[in-house]
Amino acid sequence: MKQIALLALVVMLLGACAAPQKADKEATFTNRNMKVDSEIMTPEALWSFGRVGSVAVSPDGKTVAFTISYTKIEENKTYSDIYTMPAEGGDYKQITFTKGGEFDINWRPDGAKITYMSAASGDVQLWEMNPDGTQNQQVTKVDGGIEGYKYSPTMDKIAFAKSVKLDKTVHDMYPDLKYADARIEDDLMYRHWDHWVDPTYSHIFYIDYANGATTGSATDIMEGERYHSPLKPFGGMEQVTFTPDGKSIAYTCKKKTGMESAFSTNSDIYLYDIKAASTKNLTEGMMGYDIAPKYSPDGKYLAWESMARDGYEADQNRLFMMDLASGEKKDYTADFDQNVHGLTWTPDSKHIYFTSEDKGSNEIFRFDLADNSISQITEGIHNYNSVAIAANGLIATQTSMKHPTEIISVNAETGEGSNISKVNEPLLGQLKMGDVEKRRIKTTDNKDMLVWVIYPPNFDKNKKYPALLYCGGGPQSMVSQFWSLRWNFQMMAANDYIIVAPNRRGLPGFGQEWNEQISGDYGGQNMKDYFSAIDAVSKESFVDENRLGAVGASYGGFSVYWLAGNHNKRFKAFISHCGIFNFEQMYSTTEEMFFVDWDYKGNYWDTDNKTAMRSYANSPHRFVKNWDTPMLVIHGAKDFRIPYTQGMGAFNVAKMRGVPARFLYFPEENHWVLSCHNGILWQREFFRWLDTYLK
């Protein structure tokens, strides 16, 4: 249920790839000079912001290459191009002008070429070009295309991911039945996230490389294995790396299938020796997620992100490291009660930078190998989502509730950041944003809870406003300084709503105890936290306590359904997007079983399991006799994490109960809404519903 915005961007770009070509400004599209008619945000303005995607710093640390994608609303299409700029800041230059786009950009290890993926030849392949955008050249020519790439530090090999067919289809088994349309399944995990699982598996290959071209045939380092690397559905080539000497490849893989895979998070780091053609499990006996191996540049250490417990996808994400000389493995975050994400070594191998959730924002931290200490580098009302090393500091990406992603130059000593990309300044300068306030509110068990309160752009304290309780998803995803094309707080505030967004129990960034409390306690303390937040803010003179709504997606959608049966007349309108309505049905039909099994603490037929029985007793469908408040239900047909029948069940019951209800159904969307026109429709229906019952 974790939402990874980068995947949404990659999916959109994959659907819009086109051939590299000479600079032809008519072939691409940008909104950079767009003029708006009003200072108040609209769905169309929201979809017109430029979206910074891949960001890569040159090996010498002096140049940043990055992609910006713009949506042409009338075409329902996204265009993406590559840009470069000095790492210290300055004007950026567009170096590709294509009808579709390039993605997954990087620099060749020698810094002489920018590398990227494109479907120019029909399939997605690896391409190179000069840093000024000239001399585009296709590097790989792999049948069926590739799914990711990585150069060896020695530049004599390239690793790439490619799908390999290993299982039979109905037509393979019964070739005479060429018009048969069916699947035959014998085990679990036959569908995942938003697709029915193919008879193919993503494998890692390597191939020789020299002077801009691959030579010879590629070698599958996982030949015959019915496993995926990178991990599905969200893993990328950050899960694959060469050793510094280029002689071996480390990769992430969960070598389990079927029901065993559905109930397990136990992935490992494997090391493939190219010369010996042999594989070794480096993390054998470590039972949770072990992902994203990163070798120190001096070749002495291997660092990776690790979780301790099998089946717990929201366990603490630790910084683990192996001394390659001794083989000793150690958790270097045993005294750091937070997560680590995106490990980045410094060139001297003395430090590792990473990001971590920290009390309502994502910040940059530094690990010092000399004394094993961790220091916080940045602090503020923002999210730092990635960090890289530049010649004179750090290059990071940052969002906030007031702006989409921008590229920031960060002083590694002071933490001071400067926006060097300014992609969206022209549009932001025409719009008025609402203030974002950080509050501390007491919970029913006398804890301090961080609550974000977002105000309308032209807030007048003498007026009374309707207010919306935002119920966060995940369930264990911090309510941070994020920017979304749907759950956008500035969009909600622009429609004259006060937004109340609590970091209730069960979220990271406030210590592991706070994060873990939610497991086995759905419908418990975290729901009380929601009431504490909305009750406190609704007492303000500028809030109309008779015009309160509750909205949310995923776990937030479940929260809305649960609140509908337990809110004691607090709310006048509800919106649930892709929410869980019936726990028994959810347990029986979701795909990654480890999530529900861990969070519910078991199945629904184990009646002796008191904790599990308490979970199922809090299923929203058990409280529908109390439903009496208008409900908008939104769901996508390709949501296999929370199947759309959950939304259908909630809508049908609301109608049978005589409750005003509407069902907004997207046949081609998954757990998110990715296309432009569907996204704008989402916004229009969202506010049409709220305005009907709260204004």
Hey, which residues are catalytic here?
554, 639, 671
Four-CA torsion 11, 16, 22, 23, nearest 10 degrees: -90
**Contact yes or no for 683/486 (Cβ under 8 A):** yes
The 3-state DSSP class for residue 432 equals coil
Determine the Cα angle at 620 with ends 619 and 625, to 5°: 125
Identify the CA nearest to 97 among candidates 134, 55, 52, 48: 134
**Contact yes or no for 498/545 (Cβ under 8 A):** no
H-assigned helices in 218-257: none
Query: Residue 130 and residue 563: Cα distance in Å, rounded?
Result: 56
Four-CA torsion 210, 104, 67, 155, nearest 10 degrees: -20
Environment class of 86 (CB within 10 Å of its CB; exposed 0-12, middle 13-18, buried 19+): middle
Question: CB 223: neighbour CB atoms within 10 A?
Answer: 11
The 3-state DSSP class for residue 52 equals strand
Long-range contacts of the stretch 110-113 (C-beta < 8 A, 24+): 110/59, 110/155, 111/58, 111/59, 111/60, 113/212
- Please state, in angstroms and as integers, the Cα–Cα distance from residue 253 to each residue in 153, 259, 313, 423, 656, following that order: 22, 16, 15, 37, 47
Question: CB 197: neighbour CB atoms within 10 A?
Answer: 18
The 3-state DSSP class for residue 359 equals coil
- Please state, in angstroms and as integers, the Cα–Cα distance from residue 483 to each residue in 36, 62, 385, following that order: 20, 28, 12
Kindly state the helix (H) or strand (E) to which residue 115 belongs, with its residue range.
strand 114-118
Residues 6+ apart with CB under 8 A from 612: 520, 600, 601, 602, 603, 604, 606
Query: Residue 286 and residue 308: Cα distance in Å, rounded?
Result: 7
Q: Would you list the DSSP string of 250-266? A: EEEE----HHHHHT---
Long-range contacts of the stretch 424-431 (C-beta < 8 A, 24+): 424/49, 424/50, 426/32, 426/33, 426/34, 427/31, 427/34, 427/36, 427/45, 427/48, 427/49, 428/403, 430/35, 430/36, 430/39, 431/36, 431/39, 431/40, 431/41, 431/45
Residues in the chain: 695
Kindly state the helix (H) or strand (E) to which residue 242 belongs, with its residue range.
strand 240-242
Give the phi and the psi of residue 105 in degrees, each rounded to 5: -85, 155
Query: Residue 477 and residue 475: Cα distance in Å, rounded?
Result: 6
- The beta strands (E) that lie in 504-607 are given as 543-553, 573-577
Query: Residue 74 and residue 25: Cα distance in Å, rounded?
Result: 18
The 3-state DSSP class for residue 403 equals strand
Residues 6+ apart with CB under 8 A from 351: 345, 366, 367, 368, 369
The 3-state DSSP class for residue 459 equals coil
H-assigned helices in 96-180: 170-173
Query: Residue 620 and residue 231: Cα distance in Å, rounded?
Result: 32
Query: Residue 14 and residue 587: Cα distance in Å, rounded?
Result: 32
